[in-house]
Amino acid sequence: MTIDEKYVDTVVVGGGVIGCSIAYYLAKEGISVALFEKYELASGASGANQGVAAAQLYDPPLLELVLESIKLYNELERTLPIDFELDKCGSIICAIEERHWNILEERANTLRKFNVNVELIEGAELREMEPSLSTEILGASLCSEDILVNPFKLTYAFANAARRFGANINTYCTVRRVVVKDGEVESIITDKGQIKTDHVVISAGAWSTLIEGLEELKLPISPQRGQVFVTEPIRPLRFRIILDADYLVTATTTSHAERFEDLRLKRRIAAALSQTRSGNILIGSSRDLAGYDKRTTILDLKIIATRALKFLPFLSRINVIRTFAGLRPYSHDDLPILGEVPSIKGLFIATGHCGNGIALAPVTGKIIADLITKGESSIKNIDRFSVSRFKA
């Protein structure tokens, strides 16, 4: 696609679910938006994840954002032009060891304080609810509001809706540089030309640090690999999202995973199981830093498979048809980087979502759009997500 406009109000860099959500919420407000994606939409982490948004996994301050996202998903189901397979199936975090149960009890109390509806369910009752679950599972915490989406369709739904509001969505166009003049964003340079603009939003996920002109920000983002199995489609079993209680540990321990003796925890592997609408079961999860290497590894796959069988034993008789890895933008304190860069007027950052891109996509779009159009967000203390927190 050629760029026929020489000026747009806002440029969004990156066509993943975050970029497309931002483009949607901006275009809806009547802002002229051009989005640039170097490959296809959802070709990075947005097309390589399990599509889970589970509030009960989070603590404040992310919890508030995830709860807002889930609320927005319920609206988006009606307003977006593509059915993104929203499944209000709920989630269970399963205790497989005694220590897990104590953690879940403690979390339930905390979550309830934030009006998250969690229930603790023990052995027999749990298996009645989830007959496929292994008898090894001691109990689980259930959150019925948690949801599953098809992340590809979600990304395209945001993009198509943005287009309907006039956004210019460009694929196979790489943003090479952000040009800043006198402390203000002036333009962007792409491989197909230069465009003047007032606002630039960097939402290129793990690739955000490759854009020239942002060096001084020293964005603390690294690609974090997550590996997933895909099984053949089987009859929809309507199970809830099944999460390993160890997921609470593996999701946020980038800096100190090495201290674990257990190879599984060292490799940051915990079971995460969900079934897509077409019947495939997705089996995760792992987290490791391997640069931009998107291959799956036999070491991690074996540990993931072994762990997953402890939760859903019938998986041993189901064929795996594929494995994939996604590169998530890991921010070095596990929290996303959201908002305007204080030293550069008009430059906004929306990346560092780690493995929480789906859980945070709608709210990120809304926050960035609000900041650009109104100069403020309805989310309190949004400043805490600013890139400036990393400056010593």
Partner 1 sequence: MRYTIEGEIGVSLDFRITEHPILEFKRGRPVRIYVNGKEVKAHEGETIAAALYASGIKVYSRSAKYGRPRGFFCGIGKCSSCLMRVDGVPHVRTCITPVKDGMKIEYEEYRGQPPVECEFEFEEGRVDADLVIVGGGPAGLSAAITAAKLGVDVLLVDENPKIGGQLIKQTHKFFGAKSNYAGVRGFEIANILLRELEEEKIKSLSSTSVLGIFEEGRKHKLVAVQDNRKFIEISSNAIIVATGASENYLLFPNNDLPGVYGAGGVQTLMNVYGIKPGNDALMIGAGNVGLIVSYQLLQAGVNVKGVVEVMPKIGGYLVHASKLRRMGIPILTRHTIKEAIGKEHVEGAIIAEVDERGQFKEGSEKYIDVDLICLAVGLTPSSELLFQAGCKYAYIPELGGQVAIHNEDLETTIEGIYVAGDVSGIEEASTAMMEGRIAGANVAIKCGASVSKAEEIREESFKHLEALRASPFSEKVLKGKEKVYELWRERK
Distance CA 63, CA 295 (A): 31
Binding residues among 196-255 for partner 1 as defined by CB under 8 A: 232-235, 237
Region near partner 1 per CB under 8 A, out of 30-38, 96-104, 293-301, 336-344:
293-301
CA separation for the pair 90, 107 (Å, rounded): 17
* Binding-site size, partner 1 (CB under 8 A): 20
Angstrom distance (rounded) from CA 241 to CA 244 = 10
Phi then psi for residue 134, to 5 deg, are -65, 150
**257 or 299, CB closer to partner 1?**
299
- Taking the complex as a whole, the smallest distance from the CB of residue 233 to partner 1 amounts, in Å, to 5
Q: Residues with Cβ < 8 Å from 300, sequence gap 6 or more?
A: 227, 267, 269, 286, 288
Q: In the window 125-184, what residues touch partner 1 (CB under 8 A)?
A: 132
**DSSP helix, strand, coil percent of the chain (3-state; round to 5):** 35, 25, 40
Distance CA 131, CA 261 (A): 33
By C-beta, is 220 or 313 nearer to partner 1? Answer: 313
Q: Phi and psi for 302 in degrees, rounded to 5?
A: -65, -45
Decide whether 251 or 283 has the Cβ nearer to partner 1.
Answer: 283
Dist CA 246 CA 103 (whole Å): 10
Backbone angles phi, psi at 177, to 5 degrees: -150, 145
Query: Out of 279, 292, 343, 376, which residue is the one contacting partner 1 (CB under 8 A)?
Result: 279
Compare residues 257 and 290 and give the one whose CB is closer to partner 1: 290
Q: Pick between residue 62 and residue 281 the one whose CB is nearest to partner 1.
A: 281
Contacts of partner 1 in 303-322 (CB under 8 A)? 309, 313-314, 316-320
Q: How far is the CB of 279 from partner 1 (least distance, A)?
A: 5
* In the complex, minimum distance from the CB of residue 344 to partner 1, in angstroms, rounded to a whole number: 37
- Residue of 150, 187, 250, 323 that binds partner 1 (CB under 8 A): 323
Q: Where are the alpha helices (DSSP H) in 294-342?
A: 298-311
Q: Distance between CA atoms of 216 and 238, rounded to whole angstroms?
A: 49
Span of 31-39, 290-298, 350-358, 380-388 interacting with partner 1 by CB under 8 A: 290-298
Stretch (H or E) spanning 222: strand 221-231
Nearer to partner 1, 296 or 364 (CB): 296
* Minimum CB distance to partner 1 smaller for 293 or for 383: 293
Smallest separation, CB 335 to partner 1 (Å): 33
Site residues, partner 1 (CB under 8 A): 132, 232-235, 237, 279, 295-298, 309, 313-314, 316-320, 323
